[in-house]
């Protein structure tokens, strides 16, 4: 028995030593600008881009931000854009692919699972805290679209996070699922409870199929243009299917696992946002965005240092990459994070 324990301890030490050596080698190669890195989240290897300020040298101390992508989003899209621009303004930033998306590990693919995404954010914070030059007392989140809800949920339970900002926030997922405005309206209709129950039926049937056959049924999370679902989804398609805007990146897919329809709606972050009391909170919205109500509700329910900042004339997806609006958002974010961290 003692021999087994000794062997196990030696194995653990060897694995830990290999991990530390690999990490030290990775850190030794860090340079200002974009660095391709990776970290573990519950044994899944997640791909990430670490952005470092121009004056980064591994010795100076910097406030640091994890940028959380929209639902199904990847690091090369709007999350990476904001991470890059914030790094140019003196922050260390990290944009990453959640498990099952982009270049990250995880099966079945395209699982839009709120609990898993929260765990990935926590591990992104843990990884960021190990980077030379990161001030562990000045860690923050920026959540975009659904990343806003995931970020708030994380901050309610992780005191390492000292400030939270959101862009075009989808925050209350259950409310969204009951809104009658989902991208699955061609399949579901009627009163909101029946609509929600229909979506749960789609998820349950897909889950059973996966259990029995190992085959994951996929559905479109972003409908293509001309789907007839309204202006919001037309604008979504104009970003996510558009090479010129960067949304149609090669490692991105608009598909999602049908069995994650239920886990998508696991919480309404604003319903317990008071647990984030003491953490400064900034919500940036477009004045013409369909989603602005979610941010307004979250700010109303938050306790303490909070602010709703409206960018005139912007729709939801204008804040993803529209230079005119992104510049305004970055100015406000820099002011917020420099002041609060």
- pLDDT, one tens digit per residue, over 197-240 is 888 999 999 999 999 999 999 999 999 999 888 898 899 999 99
Which is more confident, 198 or 33?
A: 33
For residue 32, the tally of other CB atoms under 10 A from its CB is 14
Mean pLDDT check: name the lowest of 13-17, 146-150, 207-211, 307-311.
Answer: 13-17
Least Cα distance to 36 among 44, 24, 26, 23 occurs for: 26
Distance, first Cα to last Cα, the chain: 50
Backbone dihedral angles phi then psi of residue 22, each to the nearest 5 degrees: -65, -40
Beta bridge partner(s), residue 68: 143
pLDDT for 4: 62
324-339, pLDDT tens digit by residue? 999 999 999 999 999 9
Which pair of structure tokens corresponds to residue 79?
A: 């999350």
Residue 299 confidence (pLDDT) above 50 = yes
With the CA atoms of 306, 312, 317 and 319 taken in that order, what torsion angle do they form, in degrees rounded to the nearest 10? -60
What is the rounded average pLDDT of the residues 252-266?
94
Mean pLDDT check: name the lowest of 91-100, 156-165, 189-198.
Answer: 189-198
Could you tell me the fold of the domain covering 24-180+265-340?
Rossmann fold (3.40.50)
Residue 285 confidence (pLDDT) above 70 = yes
pLDDT for 229: 83
pLDDT for 219: 93
Residue 15 confidence (pLDDT) above 50 = no
What is the rounded average pLDDT of the residues 97-103?
98
Average model confidence (pLDDT) across the chain = 91
Which pair of structure tokens corresponds to residue 143?
A: 């959540």
19-30, pLDDT tens digit by residue? 454 555 678 789
Q: Dump the DSSP string for 3-26.
A: HHHHHHHHHHHHHHHHHHHHHHHH
Residue found under tokens 């190990």: 130
pLDDT for 98: 98
Q: What CA–CA distance (Å, rounded) separates 79 from 73?
A: 8
Share of the chain above pLDDT 70, in %: 89
Residue 160 confidence (pLDDT) above 50 = yes
| In the chain, domain spans | 24-180+265-340
Q: What CA–CA distance (Å, rounded) separates 145 from 317?
A: 9
């Amino acid at each position: 028995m003692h021999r087994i324990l000794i062997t196990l301890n030696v194995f653990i030490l060897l694995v830990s030593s290999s991990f530390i050596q690999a990490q030290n080698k990775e850190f030794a190669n860090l340079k200002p600008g974009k660095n391709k890195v990776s970290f573990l989240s519950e044994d899944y290897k997640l791909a990430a881009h670490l952005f470092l300020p121009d004056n980064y040298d591994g010795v100076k101390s910097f406030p640091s931000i994890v940028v959380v992508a929209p639902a199904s989003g990847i690091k090369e899209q709007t999350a990476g854009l904001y991470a890059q621009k914030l790094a140019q303004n003196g922050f260390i930033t990290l944009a990453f692919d959640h498990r099952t998306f982009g270049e990250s590990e995880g099966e079945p693919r395209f699982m839009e699972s709120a609990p898993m995404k929260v765990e990935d954010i926590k591990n992104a914070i843990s990884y960021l805290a190990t980077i030379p030059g990161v001030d562990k007392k000045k860690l923050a989140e920026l959540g975009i679209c659904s990343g806003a809800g995931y970020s708030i949920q994380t901050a309610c339970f992780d005191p390492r996070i000292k400030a939270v900002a959101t862009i075009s926030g989808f925050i209350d997922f259950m409310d969204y699922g009951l809104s009658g405005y989902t991208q699955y309206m061609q399949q579901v209709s009627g009163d909101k409870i029946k609509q929600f129950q229909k979506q749960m039926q789609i998820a349950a049937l897909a889950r059973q199929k996966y259990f029995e056959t190992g085959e994951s049924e996929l559905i479109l999370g972003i409908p293509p243009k001309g789907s007839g679902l309204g202006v919001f989804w037309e604008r979504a398609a104009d970003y996510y299917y558009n090479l010129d805007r960067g949304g149609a990146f090669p490692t991105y897919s608009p598909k999602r696992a049908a069995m994650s329809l239920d886990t998508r709606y696991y919480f309404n972050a604003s319903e317990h946002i008071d647990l984030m009391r003491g953490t400064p909170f900034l919500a940036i919205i477009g004045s013409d965005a369909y989603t602005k109500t979610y941010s307004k509700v979250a700010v109303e329910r938050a306790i303490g240092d909070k602010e709703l900042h409206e960018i005139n004339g912007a729709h939801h997806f204008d804040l993803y990459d529209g230079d005119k609006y992104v510049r305004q958002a970055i100015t406000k974010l820099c002011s917020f994070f420099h002041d609060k961290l």
